[in-house]
């Protein structure tokens, strides 16, 4: 296998699409209600799926691991769209976005791909709001292209290399040949058993919101291809976050980091607080009683942080 093996995300869409840079996708068949995705083509031909709402300064929402853009759509997107033109994206290999196998796992590579897609959409110096792994991508984006970013709001970001459960559970799928075989054989049964537990644990100490439980496309998100992408993301954490840790002191972009005091997925004092100490223009806020999915429960704090980053 070569490093340019393209791994487009399987979808349940049907019908013809136009051939312009931005493609409209027909509604998904047999899936929970969700916004109609569109696809923007990057300069190398990758398709990045997104939804858009609102008007005003540009803002990009970047979801975390084991998720797709519906996580942001069901969370802070509506509130943010009252103040911003909001673009929520599927990270490469997740949702309906394309991915190149063995190449796109690094948060730095994903940042470059998303930035390319946002430039194609005509965004101007957006605020970046990233959750968990998406927070790592947002910070990488800001450090790689500071002139293109107004500010970053990192929500429960993972900022430093450490042993992670997802590396054990899903990392083997990053292995050439063996990982693909695992993802399409025993992987689906394993995922069907373990992922509902992980998804609910991510929301602790709060309950998963009823709307998320009813509308998030859980089965679609745990297809073999996105789970391979999750494995590659997990395997790329150490080198990617080592590079980030060495670069935080050079970041000229203002950063606001929000973390939950009761988060059992990311230790926000180790990650967010320490990163804020290294970043030249950063503020860290620990929210009492909040868990990992605080963007579903502390939306006004995220809106305020984003408006502060944009100067609005």
The per-residue pLDDT for range 194-215, each reduced to its tens digit, is: 999 999 999 999 999 999 999 9
Q: What is the mean pLDDT of residues 92-110?
A: 96
Sheet holding 151-155, edge to edge: 22-24, 38-41, 47-53, 85-89, 58-62, 127-131, 151-155, 255-260, 282-287
Residue-wise pLDDT for 40-95, tens only, equals 998 888 899 999 999 999 999 999 999 999 999 999 999 999 999 999 999 999 99
State the Cα–Cα distance between residues 92 and 22, nearest whole angstrom: 16
Q: Which helix (H) or strand (E) holds 179?
A: helix 178-184
Pairing of strands 151-155, 127-131: parallel
Q: Cβ neighbours of residue 290 under 8 Å, at least 6 residues apart?
A: 259, 260, 261, 262, 263, 297, 298
Give the three-class secondary structure for 280: coil
Angle between the N-to-C axes of helices 187-203 and 224-235, in degrees from 0 to 180, rounded to the nearest 10: 70
Residue 217: half-sphere exposure toward Cβ, Cα within 13 Å: 22
**Is residue 34 scored above 80 in pLDDT?**
no
Contact status, residue 274 vs residue 246, Cβ threshold 8 Å: no
More confident residue, 80 or 8: 80
**Is residue 6 scored above 80 in pLDDT?**
no
Q: Cβ neighbours of residue 207 under 8 Å, at least 6 residues apart?
A: none
pLDDT score for 31: 54
State the Cα–Cα distance between residues 265 and 158, nearest whole angstrom: 9
**Is residue 22 scored above 50 in pLDDT?**
no
State the Cα–Cα distance between residues 124 and 146, nearest whole angstrom: 12
Please name the residue that has the structure tokens 């970043």: 279
22-165+236-310 falls under which CATH superfamily?
Alpha/Beta hydrolase fold, catalytic domain (3.40.50.1820)
Residue-wise pLDDT for 117-171, tens only, equals 999 999 999 999 999 999 999 999 999 999 999 999 999 999 999 999 999 999 9
Q: Where are the beta strands (DSSP E) in the chain?
A: 22-24, 38-41, 47-53, 58-62, 85-89, 127-131, 151-155, 255-260, 282-287
Q: What is the mean pLDDT of residues 217-238?
A: 96
Q: Which helix (H) or strand (E) holds 302?
A: helix 299-310
State the Cα–Cα distance between residues 60 and 97, nearest whole angstrom: 15
pLDDT score for 45: 85
Kindly compute the dihedral angle of the four CA atoms of residues 41, 59, 237, 42, in this order, to the nearest 10 degrees. 10
How much is the pTM? 0.90
Six-digit token string for 161:
């290399």
State the Cα–Cα distance between residues 300 and 303, nearest whole angstrom: 5
Six-digit token string for 159:
């900022």
pLDDT score for 3: 34
Q: Where are the beta strands (DSSP E) in 65-150?
A: 85-89, 127-131
Spell out the domain ranges in the chain: 22-165+236-310
């Amino acid at each position: 296998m070569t490093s340019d093996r393209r791994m487009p995300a399987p979808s349940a869409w049907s019908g013809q699409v136009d051939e312009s840079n931005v493609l409209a996708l027909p509604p998904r068949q047999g899936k929970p209600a969700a916004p109609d995705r569109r696809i923007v083509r990057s300069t190398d031909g990758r398709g990045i799926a997104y939804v858009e709402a609102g008007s005003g300064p540009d803002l990009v929402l970047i979801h975390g691991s084991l998720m797709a853009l519906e996580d942001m759509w069901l969370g802070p997107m509506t509130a943010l769209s009252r103040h911003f033109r909001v673009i929520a994206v599927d990270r490469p290999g997740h949702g309906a976005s394309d991915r190149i196998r063995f190449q796109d796992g690094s948060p730095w590579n994903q940042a470059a791909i998303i930035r390319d897609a946002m430039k194609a959409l005509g965004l101007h110096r957006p605020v970046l709001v990233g959750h968990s792994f998406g927070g790592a991508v947002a910070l990488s984006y800001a450090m790689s292209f500071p002139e293109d970013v107004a500010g970053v709001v990192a929500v429960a970001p993972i900022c430093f290399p450490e042993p992670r459960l997802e590396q054990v559970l899903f990392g083997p799928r990053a292995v050439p040949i063996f990982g693909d075989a695992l993802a399409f054989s025993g992987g689906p049964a394993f995922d069907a058993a373990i992922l509902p537990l992980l998804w609910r644990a991510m929301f602790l100490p709060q309950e998963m919101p009823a709307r998320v439980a009813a509308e998030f496309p859980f089965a679609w998100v745990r297809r073999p291809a996105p789970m391979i992408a999750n494995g590659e993301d997990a395997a790329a954490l150490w080198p990617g976050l080592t590079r980030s840790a060495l670069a935080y002191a050079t970041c000229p972009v203002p950063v606001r980091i929000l973390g939950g005091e009761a988060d059992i997925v990311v230790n926000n004092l180790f990650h967010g607080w320490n990163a804020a100490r290294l970043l030249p223009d950063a503020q860290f806020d620990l929210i009492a009683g909040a868990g990992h999915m605080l963007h579903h429960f502390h939306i006004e704090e995220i809106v305020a942080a984003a408006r502060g980053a944009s100067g609005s």
